Amino acid sequence: MIGMRKRVTVGFLSIVCLLFFSGMVSLVELSRLSRDTGEILSANKRNIELAKEMLDAAHEQNVALIHLSVFGDKSYDSLCRVSMARLENTLLVAQTEAVDKSFLDSLAFVTTELRLLTDNYLAFGVADNTGRALAVQSDSLAGKWYNNDYERLYVHLTAAIKNYMTSSQSSLAPRTEQMKKNAYRAVMPVLISLVVMIAIVLMLFYFMSIYCVKPLLRMNKGLGDYLAFRVPFVVKADLKDEVLELKEKIETLITISKQTKA
């Protein structure tokens, strides 16, 4: 015989288990979601920082070279070297941190070309077609070098940096897709658990109503009728539990009461 108390306890324990279970599932899945979101955001931020750093370095070097080649201001020599080194160091950091290094190949190639061109210029000035340094650098010649050789590479470099920035962003798409799946997985088990919980609560309500509340009401009415009008106490109890015991005890009490009166 399973008593009423045990039944009610099991019923409520089931609900508690489901609540705990759905809570745990959502907690695990949401923390995974939160971790993924954090990772994506920090990767995104880092990528923008590195790209900005490279663009700044390239711009600085460009300004320095304009001053050097066009205006002949030698004081920009060191700035040119420093910014080139800054560009290369940032690229190295990006290469170390990148998950997919293929996005950085073209950027590394253009940076190497730019380094060679800049080093050549700083060492020998403007070279002729055979690579021989010209003894006298005229303003127009340096301007031509800047326009024909350097600017072309500079444009390539900035394009490669921008490409790195956008490509890295697009490489985040699969992770975002995975994140979407995680969000779905976080929601769906909880939703299903909730549906199951609603079904269990409804069943519990129904069973409590027919096995506990109704027999008590019937007994109450039966006892009331017996006391008021001496109507025989006949109450139906469906389960072999405490309610049945109570009913039997009331019947015994009525019998004893009748015997005492007799």
Q: Could you list the residues that contact another protein (CB under 8 A)?
A: 2, 7, 10-11, 14, 17-18, 21, 25, 181, 184-185, 188-189, 192-193, 196, 199-200, 203-204, 206-207, 210-211, 238-240
- Which has the closest alpha carbon to 19: 167, 198, 178, 158? 198
Residue nearer to another protein on the CB measure, 18 or 63: 18
Q: How far is the CB of 251 from another protein (least distance, A)?
A: 21
- State the minimum distance, in angstroms, from the CB of residue 246 to another protein: 18
Is residue 88 a contact partner of residue 104, using CB atoms and an 8 Å limit? Answer: no
Give the nearest distance from C-beta 189 to another protein in angstroms.
5
Cα(128)–Cα(145) distance, integer angstroms: 10
Burial zone of 151 (CB within 10 Å; 0-12 exposed, 13-18 middle, 19+ buried): middle
Shortest distance, CB of residue 198 to another protein, whole angstroms? 11
